[in-house]
């Protein structure tokens, strides 16, 4: 029962945050709601005994990405970027609650698939992989993707600099 | 776990769907970016759920889903940084992040 | 004499060479071209005489050989035969081309070369000063080559080639004065009308070839008697024979393809004399006679058709001739009529009679044409008889020679036409095919007899109007003058055979005088297998014919010499409908104009339109469909279809304009499309599994 | 917990001969970065990059022919290295070589452009380009979804950056943004599919995936809908990468806005790599008959749609760059025919490989000229081609050959490529697809015709293009390549046939 | 000794074309000389081949059975494509015709083409490369390559040097033929795959495909291939590109288009579509026959209604090629109902039609061109009285018109006569309908001659210069051949007999019986 309770709470937090992301006018608020959603998902990860993933989730998503987004918004100093005015007459104008409906429909559909597949109940209730096992795999089997990921990050960095640096040079 | 697998999977799908809808309806590029991250979270949730319920035969297989998730997060971060850089560039040149106004090319 | 026989090819080669020489050196030769042609043709004529005597010496009909091998085959072994073996392969069949001389050919050679010689001599005077003098001579010589090739040919293929070469020359000669409208029109009409027959003939040849796998006379004669035993083959052969006959119908100007000959008179008169009177038009008769191994062996209905078409044409054309005013036109219809005679004779099995008349007709009709030319020449190119009159004093030589031709044609006893016509009528009188109503079987005879009467009548009319009575156009009369000797000499030359050639086969005199030599030509013409004509009723027939001729002459004289023109006009008024009908040549030309020609014109215009609008459009169809929605009324608009570089573009652009609308430039719509399609296809695959 | 002793080498099974090309590329990336600080003439960096790629091509060849690897390929059991993350089979080597050559050509043709329009961005441009290439190389050389995914993302992110390199140009910004947003959504969709596949199979290693999926389906047919959904989501993600209809909408905008050499790269590089990945995933992971019939149908529909939409829309374009974008959408449709056929016959795979090679040579040749014509940065119209036959006859004739290669007229590489596609389609009973291709070849004449007409049938109203080494060299190489591959196809057919044994 | 001769005939023009690329374009004389030599060399090479034809060894190799001067070397072995070249009667006569017409076309271009001479000549040579290649190829892929090579030069030759609507005509030509050929490729590949022969060699392929059952797929393949050829022939209703192309093309190109390009289609039918699938061909023969007959009548009618001299002549091409189509249909019927000999007759006749048309139609177009060059009009309503203004040209025109309408004694007649001789047994009196086409053809020829040649000389055309030496030089060889083959067609027919025999007995007859 505890699991149900926990899951329900976390789910509600996640969904409400996501819904608020749609709704709120200020982007910064949306970013904060995003962090909240991420954190709630991290909670679910914890429930799944994926502590490592949960930790990374908090670090990378709730921490790094959210911070980055907010920084970017602040840095640009443009009013427009910070808030989003509701448009008149657009197809999507009054669609805020719709987001839940669409999400629900999609989820229902996927669930239908899962249920149709008659996914077997859990075969094992073993502990999830330890950080050590993850680390070991990461540096043996997954060495190549790991290295590529490093280059990916390098390029992301380079790219971000290239795309934004010009201004600095000139100023 | 006694929780039926359908619940976390459903939540994953719900997150994905929400993110998708948000990404498709919000016109602020930054917000779209954020919704994409939500979608990725849905995926991650799926992965971890499946792993948790089924794929724990040994350390190797148990580590698989977390590692995939790890990579996805890495990529997401990289994507976010590049994406934000692009958005900032657009803002600089056009003074707007409204994707509906970014419409020089069509047809 | 054998020397001539064994080099008989020279006869055909000579005019060909001359034609080529004239064509190549026309600028140098100028007027001398005529003399070159005359000289060449004289040599050819002499050569033909040599050949003729050689064949005659070898024994006319070659009875022995015929009796031995091909008794029922309508074929006589040629006296001379030159073959180009394996001339060309038709697929696996080696086609031999050859020249040969047998009795029929020998006679035709003499006739053709003589007439051609006379015509060429005559033309020196007649065509003097003409600016395309050399062209005329080249064409005449080429034509002579064609005609000689035709009679020398030993197979259907070479015959067809010669046949068409003659057609070409006929076209060229009719259109000699191509600056004027009538020659232009006449030449095309002639070529096309005969072409219609030729196509039938070609199909006939294909049928014959399909059945027999050979085209030579010898081959046909040896295979056909066997093949007709098979009913399928026999009916095919009958069809082939009929189709070949359509060629003859076209060339010999038989009903219903007779319309071209009157218009062929647009050409120079000597050309008409040679081509449209003496030789080419007779080629149809020759063709039927030559391929009698087909006609004679197949079902009798073919020959019956031949006979009736011939007989009908004879009567029909003669009736038209009675009301023509142009002297050449009278002669033209007379020619049609006489050719009908010959065709009828052949159809009735009077093979020898038909060919006999062919010969005599060649002489006297050429004579008449040349004489008419002389009249016209004398009369400043006036051809209309109601402006002539009393000319006998002005142009005596022409008058006397004309008179010979006239009497021969009218069948006046003793003249050549009298004898040949008698044979012909005899053949008609004795025709009684099994299973046919005797009255019907007498129809050809009746038609022939009526024709004999009409012939005599219209010739008398023409003669009277031209030579007797008072001059109707004094001015022309005053300036009339006798032609130069180059023109009168040929008249005299031709008058001799026109007068005498009948005596080569003078059946009644032969009986009276018990002279076998007066039946010489009959023996010479012997062709194994043809119907033996019983001679018992010869006297009766002769009497009837002679009476008919004399009555005709008399009534002609009566109407034009005695009766006043005013009275004639009244009578015409009384028989107005018939008069109008005949006067307008039974409206056959108009009928064709309205049906065949109009149809072709309309059809070709329709096709051209169809090609531009529909076929082009249909092949580019998608485009049309695309535009059809937009503008149904402009569907066939040439602009729509022509805008087709366009082709795909027109179409495709219409579609593409819609397709490109998806690319709105709105990034979220891109994403939306993407997602919708993915999700939709996921859904779809759940449904269809 | 005590540390567990393990033999790293045994677990990882490294092979540096195989990895040599990648290592060289990485080395040169770093070298360029460092050299930037020391080299005054920045143009030398282009030389470095070019040289590096060439060296990598050589290394690729060296690796492919090295004894152990080749021996294994010949026995039909190619070796895998680095924890089964990469595989040393013919497919890998061939596609890697093709992609590297393509990038080498892009470097060559970009030379002038970078100098003119991307002042001082040598390092950035070539660095990112090499990174994208690296990603592509891993995309095609792996049998693990993770490596493929990371490679894909490396390529994608590099591409976003490349698209936006003209920082001052709003169109370039817009291109980058559109590309990025679409790409991010697409990769999310792809990942969702991946998660489903993982859920059913518990692994990302494709042979294992195949085994597990077959087992699952054997257990219960009920799994099929889920698997199909996963497959479709993945297919959707990849069809974004190859710009197949209907996931193509970003492409024209991105192609138009991006710097021209980058467009050249887009039209060839990521696309080719994505095809490699598609083939690998679908053949190895889902090659079993129960699945192949399904995904063949999916790709067939996409192929036909891409051809028609691409070609028809291209008819309406006035900007040649945009037109070439639609053209490349259509070309992707053609290649997809090979992918469809690959589900049933090896002809399909070899046809795809051959066509990618032919297409790369052809398209880069065209873009070499386009790059030089691009005077304002981003807009090349038909009128720019007016009278090219009299101004620059060699370019004009070369372009003509490239166009007929794209249409598929002999004796060009494009024709042979199409021929193999036809063969594959017929062999897999997709005759209607072959006919669609035939019809589309003809439709495509419509828009190439406009250019050809301008070049040959209209009079010049401007001056000749100056002859530049980079452009000229690319055109010559592509021209010779197109003709040679067309005429001496035998050798290349041998290569593609050998490489078509996808394991 | 002759083994490489065919290859040289094909490649010499290409080699010279490449050389010419390096000659500066101002050197017009040099360029013309080079082009002239390049086109004369194939002719020169073909002369000893003609002389040695009867004694030349016949190949017995399976890939080139029955062919002479044949060579086969592997090319793309992996898909069973070889460089197989060789000729039988069909190919060789066409090859010689092509070798003969190209020098004449170059000559006709001299002084006529005034701009971009270098491009023009290079394209012309590439065109010869392609056409000659088609006629010697024994491998489908090789054939296809050459087939498509022909397409582009022709497009440019019309599109750059053509008349007012040249672009339209050129792209129309291009698209029609391209659609035809891509569909054809699909059909051929289907056959290749279904037989599993792993060979594109036409003879090897035919040995297998002819055993296939008649079903939807083989029927599709046959018509797919045939349509590709039918467009080129051009067979009704795929002919609409032809009048436009002809009208717009410059004279030398019209000559080549009519003389050679159309023959590619008829040759290909004889070489490829019918041998490959005789069983389908026999079944569909009536369709082909109907299209042929309709084409004959239809084109004759369409020609009659035209106002443009050149368009008339163009339609006459459709008309004449209709006879070939009829003959081919007849041959495939007859070969299967026990009348093989007649099938051979039909086929040899039909092919003779293509050869004679290849001699006649170029000259006709040339004649039209001569008038056009002088009067700058092709409008039949405006021309007239030419016999009085330019007598020699008028004579030449009349000659060629009579040859074209099928006057016996000239080459045009022989082919039609033999073809229909052979066709009659297959289709009976329906052939008469085609015969009606002969009359209409004759009619419009005569009417055209009346309009153009006869009548009073027109004032505006007085003082036109008559024929030039160049024109005589172009006219003479073809005219002589027209007469020679009209009188003595044996040289050509003998060359064709073996080939027709093989085709009929070995290929057209289903099951080889």
From chain D, the residues in CB contact with A149 under 8 A are 150
- Alpha-carbon gap, residue C256 to E120, rounded angstroms: 56
CB atoms within 10 A of CB C589: 16
CB contact under 8 A, E425 and C210: yes
Residues 14-73 in B contacting D (C-alpha not used; CB under 8 Å): 16, 19-20, 23, 29, 32-33, 36, 39-40, 42-43, 46-47, 49-51, 54-55, 57, 61, 64-65, 67-68, 71-72
CB B29 within 8 A of CB A82: no
Check if C670 contacts D (Cβ < 8 Å). Answer: yes
- Alpha-carbon gap, residue D417 to D406, rounded angstroms: 10
CB C635 within 8 A of CB C627: yes
The two three-digit tokens of residue C491, written as one number: 């008249």
CB contact under 8 A, E186 and D431: yes
From chain B, the residues in CB contact with D312 under 8 A are none
CB C660 within 8 A of CB D316: yes
Query: How distant, in Å, are the alpha carbons of C322, C366, C370, C375, C412 from that of C401?
Result: 22, 11, 10, 12, 15
CB contact under 8 A, D177 and B72: no
Gap from C669 CA to chain B (nearest CA, Å): 8
CB contact under 8 A, D185 and C657: no
In Å, how far from its chain's centre is CA A124? 28
Which carries the bigger pLDDT value, residue D318 or residue A84?
A: D318
CB E311 within 8 A of CB E243: yes
Nearest CA in chain C to E456: C179
- Alpha-carbon gap, residue C136 to D12, rounded angstroms: 105
Contacts of C660 (CB under 8 A, 6+ apart): B107, D313, D316
Which carries the bigger pLDDT value, residue D101 or residue C66?
A: D101
- Rounded to an integer, the average pLDDT of D85-93 is 89
* 3-state DSSP helix/strand/coil % of chain E, to nearest 5: 75, 5, 20
CB B16 within 8 A of CB A106: yes
Which of A162, A166, A169 should be substituted to probe chain D, the one whose Cβ sees the most D Cβ atoms within 10 Å?
A162
Average pLDDT value over all residues in chain A:
78
Judged by average pLDDT, the poorest of A83-97, B28-42, E8-22 is A83-97
Give long-range contacts, CB 8 A cutoff, 24+ apart: D461-468: D461/D383, D461/D386, D461/D387, D462/D384, D462/D386, D462/D391, D463/D391, D464/D391, D464/D392, D465/D372, D465/D373, D465/D391, D465/D392, D465/D395, D467/D392, D468/D111, D468/D112, D468/D372
Q: How many CB pairs under 8 A join B and C?
A: 28
Helix (H, G, I), strand (E, B) or coil at D431: helix
CB contact under 8 A, C686 and A113: yes
CB contact under 8 A, B44 and A41: yes
Interface of chain D toward chain B, CB-CB under 8 angstroms: 146, 149-150, 153, 157, 160-161, 164, 167-171, 173-178, 180-181, 184-185, 187-188, 191-192, 194-196, 198-199, 202-204, 252-253, 256-257, 316-317, 322
- Alpha-carbon gap, residue E245 to E241, rounded angstroms: 6
Judged by average pLDDT, the poorest of A80-84, A103-107, D489-493, E220-224 is A80-84
Nearest to D246 among C652, C665, C677 (CB): C677
Contacts of C594 (CB under 8 A, 6+ apart): none
From chain C, the residues in CB contact with A109 under 8 A are 679, 683
CB contact under 8 A, C663 and D232: no
When pLDDT is cut at 50, 70 and 90, the band that residue C60 belongs to is very low
Concatenated DSSP letters of C23-86: HHTHHHHTTHHHHHHHHHHHHHHHHHHHHHHHHHHTTTT-HHHHHHS-TTTT----SEEEEEEE
Nearest CA in chain E to D437: E182
pLDDT exceeds 50 at position A92? no
The two three-digit tokens of residue E195, written as one number: 């037989």
Contacts of C416 (CB under 8 A, 6+ apart): C360, C363, C364, C408, C497, C498, C499, C500, C501, C502, C503
Judged by average pLDDT, the poorest of A112-126, C264-278, C552-566 is A112-126
Q: Which residue has the tokens 């002719």?
A: E43
Nearest to D199 among B29, B39, B46 (CB): B46
Q: State pLDDT tens for residues E190-202.
A: 888 888 778 888 8
Query: How distant, in Å, are the alpha carbons of A45, C120, C224, E352 from that of C125?
Result: 126, 9, 50, 46
Return the partners of chain D (3 or more C-beta pairs < 8 Å): A, B, C, E
When pLDDT is cut at 50, 70 and 90, the band that residue C661 belongs to is low
- Alpha-carbon gap, residue C538 to C353, rounded angstroms: 13
Question: Is B in contact with E (3 or more beta carbon pairs below 8 Å)?
Answer: no
- Alpha-carbon gap, residue B80 to C350, rounded angstroms: 113
- Alpha-carbon gap, residue D45 to D47, rounded angstroms: 5
- Alpha-carbon gap, residue A28 to A83, rounded angstroms: 8
pLDDT exceeds 50 at position E488? yes
- Alpha-carbon gap, residue E359 to E100, rounded angstroms: 9
pLDDT exceeds 60 at position C395? yes
Contacts of E312 (CB under 8 A, 6+ apart): E303, E304, E306, E380, E444, E448
CB E278 within 8 A of CB E210: yes
What is the β-pairing status of strands C80-90 and D80-81?
unpaired
Measure the CA dihedral D326/D328/D331/D335, to 10°. -130
CB contact under 8 A, C671 and B27: no
CB contact under 8 A, C663 and B25: no
Q: State pLDDT tens for residues D129-160.
A: 999 999 999 999 999 999 999 999 999 999 99
Average pLDDT value over all residues in chain D:
87
- Alpha-carbon gap, residue A57 to B48, rounded angstroms: 12
Gap from E230 CA to chain D (nearest CA, Å): 17
Nearest to B6 among A44, A98, A114 (CB): A114
When pLDDT is cut at 50, 70 and 90, the band that residue D427 belongs to is confident
The DSSP secondary-structure symbol of D377 reads S
Output the CA torsion sign for C501, C503, C506, C508: positive
Gap from D423 CA to chain E (nearest CA, Å): 6
Instruction: Report the pLDDT value the prediction gives residue C348, as an integer from 0 to 100.
Output: 86
3-state secondary structure chain A: CHHHHHHHHHHHHHHHHHHHHHHCCEHHHHHHHHHHHHHHHHHHHHHCCCHHHHHHHHHHHHHHHHHHHHHHHHHHCCHHHHECCCCCCCCCCCCCCHHHHHHHHHHHHHHHHHHHCCCCCCCCCCCCCCHHHHHHHHHCCCHHHHHHHHHHHHHHHHHHHHHHHHHHHHC
Judged by average pLDDT, the poorest of C92-106, D377-391, E88-102 is D377-391
Instruction: Report the pLDDT value the prediction gives residue A83, as an integer from 0 to 100.
Output: 57
User: Within a 13 Å sphere around the CA of C209, how many CA atoms are in the beta-carbon half?
Assistant: 29
- Rounded to an integer, the average pLDDT of E105-111 is 91
Helix (H, G, I), strand (E, B) or coil at E385: coil
Nearest to A99 among B18, B30, B59 (CB): B18
When pLDDT is cut at 50, 70 and 90, the band that residue A90 belongs to is very low
The two three-digit tokens of residue C317, written as one number: 């054309």
- Alpha-carbon gap, residue C262 to C427, rounded angstroms: 29
From chain C, the residues in CB contact with D177 under 8 A are 667
Backbone phi, then psi, for D491, in 5-degree steps? -60, -40
Where are the strands (E) in B4-95, listed by range?
Answer: none
Output the CA torsion sign for D168, D171, D174, D178: negative
CB A30 within 8 A of CB A24: yes
CB atoms within 10 A of CB C569: 10
In Å, how far from its chain's centre is CA A47? 17
Average pLDDT value over all residues in chain C:
80
Q: State pLDDT tens for residues C76-125.
A: 778 788 888 888 888 888 888 888 888 888 888 889 999 999 888 888 88
The two three-digit tokens of residue E341, written as one number: 């000999």
The two three-digit tokens of residue E89, written as one number: 């009667």
Backbone phi, then psi, for C85, in 5-degree steps? -70, 145
pLDDT exceeds 80 at position E58? yes
Cis peptide before C97 (omega within 30 of 0): no
Gap from E368 CA to chain C (nearest CA, Å): 20
Output the CA torsion sign for D255, D258, D260, D264: negative
- Alpha-carbon gap, residue C403 to C379, rounded angstroms: 18
The two three-digit tokens of residue D200, written as one number: 């059913």
- Alpha-carbon gap, residue D51 to C548, rounded angstroms: 117
From chain D, the residues in CB contact with B50 under 8 A are 195, 198-199, 202
Nearest to E145 among D410, D420, D437 (CB): D410
Output the CA torsion sign for C139, C141, C142, C147: positive
Return the partners of chain B (3 or more C-beta pairs < 8 Å): A, C, D
- Alpha-carbon gap, residue E176 to C644, rounded angstroms: 12
CB C251 within 8 A of CB C194: yes
Where are the strands (E) in E24-147, listed by range?
Answer: 68-76, 81-87
The two three-digit tokens of residue E205, written as one number: 């392929």
Instruction: Report the pLDDT value the prediction gives residue B87, as an integer from 0 to 100.
Output: 87
Gap from E257 CA to chain D (nearest CA, Å): 20
Check if C689 contacts A (Cβ < 8 Å). Answer: no
* Among the listed residues C366, C410, C374, the one whose alpha carbon sits nearest the alpha carbon of residue C392: C374
Check if E480 contacts C (Cβ < 8 Å). Answer: no
């Amino acid at each position: 029962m505890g699991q149900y309770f926990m899951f329900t709470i976390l789910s509600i937090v996640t969904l409400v945050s996501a819904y608020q992301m749609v709704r709120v006018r200020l982007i910064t608020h949306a970013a904060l709601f995003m962090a909240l959603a991420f954190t709630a998902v991290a909670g679910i990860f914890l429930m799944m005994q994926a502590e490592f993933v949960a930790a990374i989730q908090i670090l990378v998503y709730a921490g790094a990405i959210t911070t980055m987004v907010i920084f970017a918004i602040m840095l640009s100093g443009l009013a427009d970027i910070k808030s989003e005015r509701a448009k008149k007459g657009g197809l999507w104008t009054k669609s805020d609650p719709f987001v839940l409906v669409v999400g629900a429909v999609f989820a229902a559909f996927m669930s239908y698939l899962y249920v149709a597949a008659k996914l077997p109940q859990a075969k094992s209730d073993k502990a999830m992989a330890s950080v050590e096992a993850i680390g070991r795999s990461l540096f043996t089997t997954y060495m190549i993707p790991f290295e590529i990921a490093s280059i990916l990050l390098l390029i992301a960095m380079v790219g971000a600099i290239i795309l934004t640096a010009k201004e600095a040079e000139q100023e | 776990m006694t929780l039926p697998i359908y619940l976390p999977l459903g939540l994953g799908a719900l997150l994905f769907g929400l993110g998708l809808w948000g990404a498709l309806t919000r016109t602020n590029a930054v917000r779209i970016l954020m919704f994409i991250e939500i979608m990725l979270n849905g995926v991650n949730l799926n992965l971890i759920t499946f792993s948790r319920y089924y794929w724990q035969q040994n350390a190797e297989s148990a580590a698989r889903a977390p590692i995939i998730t790890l990579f996805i997060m890495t990529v997401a971060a990289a994507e976010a940084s590049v994406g934000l850089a692009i958005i900032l560039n657009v803002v600089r040149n056009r003074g707007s992040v409204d994707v509906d106004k970014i419409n020089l090319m069509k047809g | 004499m054998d020397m001539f026989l064994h080099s008989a090819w020279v006869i055909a080669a000579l005019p060909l060479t001359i034609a080529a020489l004239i064509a190549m050196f026309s600028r140098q030769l100028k007027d001398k071209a005529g003399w070159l042609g005359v000289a060449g043709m004289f040599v050819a004529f002499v050569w033909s005489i040599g050949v003729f005597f050689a064949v005659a010496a070898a024994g006319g009909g070659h009875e022995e050989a015929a009796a031995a091998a091909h008794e029922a085959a309508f074929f006589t072994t040629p006296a001379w035969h030159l073959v180009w073996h394996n001339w060309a392969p038709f697929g696996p069949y080696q086609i031999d081309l050859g020249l040969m001389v047998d009795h029929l050919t020998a006679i035709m050679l003499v006739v053709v070369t003589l007439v051609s010689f006379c015509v060429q001599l005559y033309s020196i005077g007649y065509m003097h000063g003409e600016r395309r003098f050399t062209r005329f001579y080249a064409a005449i010589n080429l034509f002579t080559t064609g005609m000689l090739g035709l009679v020398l040919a030993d197979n259907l293929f070479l015959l067809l080639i010669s046949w068409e070469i003659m057609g070409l020359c006929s076209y060229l000669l009719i259109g000699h004065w191509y600056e004027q409208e009538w020659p232009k029109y006449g030449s095309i009409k002639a070529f096309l009308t005969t072409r219609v027959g030729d196509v039938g003939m070609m199909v006939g040849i294909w049928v014959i070839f399909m059945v027999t796998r050979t085209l030579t006379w010898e081959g046909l004669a040896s295979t056909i008697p066997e093949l007709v035993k098979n009913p399928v083959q026999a009916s095919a052969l009958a069809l082939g024979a009929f189709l070949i006959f359509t060629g003859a119908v076209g060339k010999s100007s038989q009903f219903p393809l007779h319309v071209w000959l009157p218009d062929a008179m647009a050409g120079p008169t000597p050309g008409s004399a040679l081509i449209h009177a003496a030789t080419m038009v007779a080629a149809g008769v020759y063709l039927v006679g030559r391929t009698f191994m087909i006609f004679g062996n197949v079902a009798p209905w073919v020959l019956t058709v031949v006979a009736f078409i011939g007989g009908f044409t004879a009567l029909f054309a003669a009736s038209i001739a009675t009301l023509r005013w142009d002297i050449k036109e009278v002669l033209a219809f007379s020619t049609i009529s006489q050719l009908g005679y010959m065709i009828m004779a052949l159809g009735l099995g009077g093979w020898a009679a038909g060919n006999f008349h062919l010969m005599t007709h060649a002489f006297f009709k050429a004579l008449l044409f040349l004489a008419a030319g002389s009249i016209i020449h004398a009369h400043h190119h006036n051809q209309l008889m109601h402006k002539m009159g009393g000319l006998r004093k002005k142009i005596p030589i022409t008058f006397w020679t004309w008179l010979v031709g006239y009497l021969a044609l009218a069948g006046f006893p003793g003249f050549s036409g009298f004898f040949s016509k008698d044979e012909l009528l005899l053949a008609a009188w004795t025709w009684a095919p099994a299973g046919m109503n005797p009255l019907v079987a007498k129809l050809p005879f009746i038609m022939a007899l009526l024709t004999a009467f009409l012939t005599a009548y219209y010739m008398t009319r023409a003669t009277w109007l031209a030579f007797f009575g008072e001059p109707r156009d004094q001015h022309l009369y005053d300036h009339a003058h006798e032609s130069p000797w180059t023109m009168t000499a040929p008249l005299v030359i031709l008058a001799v055979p026109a007068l005498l050639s009948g005596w080569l086969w003078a059946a009644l005199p032969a009986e009276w005088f018990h002279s076998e030599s007066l039946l010489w030509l009959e023996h010479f013409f012997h062709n194994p297998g043809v119907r033996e004509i019983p001679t018992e009723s010869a006297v009766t027939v002769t009497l009837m014919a002679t009476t008919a001729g004399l009555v005709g002459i008399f009534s002609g004289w009566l109407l034009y010499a005695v009766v006043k023109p005013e009275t004639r006009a009244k009578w015409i008024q009384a028989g107005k409908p018939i008069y109008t009908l005949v006067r307008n040549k039974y409206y056959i030309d108009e009928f064709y104009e309205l049906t065949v020609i109009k149809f072709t014109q309309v059809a070709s215009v329709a096709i051209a339109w169809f090609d531009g609008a529909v076929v082009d459009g249909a092949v580019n169809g998608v485009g049309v469909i695309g535009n059809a929605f937009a503008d149904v009324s402009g569907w066939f608009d040439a602009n729509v279809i022509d805008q087709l570089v366009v082709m795909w573009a027109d179409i495709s652009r219409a579609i593409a304009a819609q397709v490109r609308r998806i690319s709105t430039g709105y990034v979220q719509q891109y994403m939306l499309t993407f997602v919708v399609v993915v999700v939709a296809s996921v859904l779809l695959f759940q449904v269809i599994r | 917990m005590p540390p567990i002793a393990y033999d790293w080498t045994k677990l990882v099974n490294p092979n540096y001969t195989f990895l040599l090309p990648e290592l060289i590329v990485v080395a040169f990336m770093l070298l360029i970065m460092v050299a930037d600080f020391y080299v005054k003439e920045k143009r030398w960096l282009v030389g470095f990059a070019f040289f590096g790629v060439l060296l990598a091509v050589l290394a690729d060849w060296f690796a492919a022919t090295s004894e152990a690897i080749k021996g294994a390929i010949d026995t039909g059991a190619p070796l895998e290295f680095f924890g089964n993350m990469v595989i040393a089979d013919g497919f890998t080597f061939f596609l890697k070589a093709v992609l590297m050559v393509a990038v080498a050509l892009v470097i060559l043709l970009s030379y002038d452009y970078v100098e003119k329009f991307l002042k001082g961005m040598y390092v950035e441009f070539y660095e990112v380009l090499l990174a994208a290439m690296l990603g592509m190389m891993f995309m095609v050389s792996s049998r693990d979804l993770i490596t493929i995914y990371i490679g894909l993302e490396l390529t994608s992110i590099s591409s976003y950056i490349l698209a936006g390199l003209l920082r001052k140009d709003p169109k370039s910004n817009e291109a980058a943004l559109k590309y990025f947003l679409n790409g991010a959504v697409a990769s999310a969709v792809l990942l969702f599919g991946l998660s489903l596949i993982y859920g059913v199979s518990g692994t990302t290693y494709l042979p294992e995936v195949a085994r597990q999926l077959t087992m699952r389906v054997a257990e219960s047919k009920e799994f099929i809908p889920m698997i199909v959904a996963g497959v479709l989501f993945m297919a959707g993600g990849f069809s974004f990468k190859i710009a197949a209809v209907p996931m193509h909408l970003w492409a024209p905008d991105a192609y138009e806005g991006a710097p021209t050499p980058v467009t050249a790269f887009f039209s060839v590089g990521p696309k080719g790599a994505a095809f490699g990945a598609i083939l690998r995933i679908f053949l190895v992971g889902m090659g079993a008959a129960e699945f192949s019939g399904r995904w063949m149908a999916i790709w067939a529909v996409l192929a036909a749609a891409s051809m028609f939409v691409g070609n028809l829309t291209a008819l309406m374009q006035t900007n040649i760059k945009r037109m070439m974008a639609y053209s490349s959408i259509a070309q992707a449709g053609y290649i997809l025919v090979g992918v469809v056929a690959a589900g049933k016959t090896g002809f399909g795979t070899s046809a795809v490989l051959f066509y990618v090679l032919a297409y790369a040579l052809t398209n880069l040749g065209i873009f070499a000229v386009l790059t030089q014509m691009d005077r304002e940065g981003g807009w090349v119209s038909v009128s720019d081609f007016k009278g090219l036959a009299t101004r620059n006859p060699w370019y004009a004739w070369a372009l003509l050959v490239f166009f007929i290669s794209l249409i598929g007229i002999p004796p060009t590489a494009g024709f042979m490529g199409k021929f193999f596609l036809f063969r594959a389609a017929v062999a897999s009973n997709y005759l209607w697809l072959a006919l669609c291709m035939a019809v589309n070849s003809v439709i495509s004449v419509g828009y190439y015709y406009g250019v050809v007409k301008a070049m040959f049938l209209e009079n010049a109203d401007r001056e000749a293009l100056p002859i530049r080494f980079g452009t000229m060299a690319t055109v010559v190489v592509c021209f010779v390549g197109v003709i040679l591959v067309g005429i001496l196809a035998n050798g290349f057919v041998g290569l593609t046939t050998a490489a078509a044994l996808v394991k | 000794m002759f083994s490489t001769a065919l290859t040289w005939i094909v490649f010499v023009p290409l080699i010279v074309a490449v050389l010419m690329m390096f000659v500066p374009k101002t050197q017009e004389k040099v360029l013309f000389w080079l082009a002239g030599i390049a086109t004369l060399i194939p002719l020169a090479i073909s002369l000893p081949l003609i002389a040695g034809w009867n004694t030349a060894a016949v190949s017995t190799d399976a890939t080139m059975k029955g062919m002479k001067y044949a060579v086969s070397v592997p090319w793309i072995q992996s898909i069973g494509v070889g460089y197989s070249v060789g000729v039988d009667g069909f190919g060789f006569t066409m090859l010689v015709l092509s070798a003969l017409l190209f020098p004449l076309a170059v000559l006709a271009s001299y002084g006529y083409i005034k701009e971009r001479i270098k491009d023009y000549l290079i394209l012309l040579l590439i065109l010869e490369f392609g056409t000659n290649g088609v006629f010697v190829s024994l491998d489908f892929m090789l054939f296809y390559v050459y087939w498509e090579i022909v397409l582009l030069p022709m497009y440019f030759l019309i599109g750059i040097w053509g008349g007012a609507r040249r672009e339209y005509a050129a792209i129309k030509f291009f698209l029609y033929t391209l659609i035809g050929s891509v569909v054809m490729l699909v059909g051929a590949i289907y056959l290749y795959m279904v037989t599993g022969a792993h060979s594109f060699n036409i003879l090897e392929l035919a040995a297998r495909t002819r055993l296939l059952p008649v079903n939807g797929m083989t029927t599709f393949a046959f018509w797919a291939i045939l349509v590709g050829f039918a467009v080129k022939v051009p067979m009704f209703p795929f002919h609409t590109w032809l009048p436009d192309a002809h009208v717009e093309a410059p004279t030398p190109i019209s000559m080549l288009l009519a003389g050679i390009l159309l023959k590619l289609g008829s040759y290909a039918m004889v070489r490829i579509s019918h041998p490959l699938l005789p069983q389908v061909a026999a079944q569909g023969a009536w369709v082909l026959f109907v299209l042929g007959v309709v084409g004959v009548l239809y084109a004759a009618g369409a020609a009659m209604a035209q106002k443009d001299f050149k368009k008339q002549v163009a339609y006459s091409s459709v008309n004449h090629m209709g006879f070939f189509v009829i003959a081919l249909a007849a041959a495939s019927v007859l070969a299967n109902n026990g009348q093989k000999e007649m099938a051979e007759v039909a086929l040899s006749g039909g092919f003779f039609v293509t050869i004679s048309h290849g001699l006649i139609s170029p000259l006709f177009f040339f004649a039209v061109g001569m008038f056009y060059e002088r009067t700058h009009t092709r409008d039949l309503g405006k021309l007239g009285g030419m016999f009085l203004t330019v007598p020699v040209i008028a004579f030449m025109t009349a000659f060629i018109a009579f040859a074209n309408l099928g006057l016996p004694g000239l080459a045009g007649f022989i082919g039609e006569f033999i073809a229909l001789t052979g066709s009659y047994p297959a289709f009976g009196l329906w052939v008469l309908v085609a015969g009606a086409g002969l009359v209409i053809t004759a009619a419009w020829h005569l009417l055209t001659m009346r309009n153009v040649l006869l009548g009073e000389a027109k004032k505006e055309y007085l003082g036109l210069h008559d024929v030039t030496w160049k024109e005589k030089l172009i006219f003479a060889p073809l005219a002589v051949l027209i007469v020679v083959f009209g009188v003595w067609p044996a040289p050509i027919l003998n060359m064709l007999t073996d080939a027709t025999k093989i085709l009929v007995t070995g290929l057209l007859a289903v099951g080889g019986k």
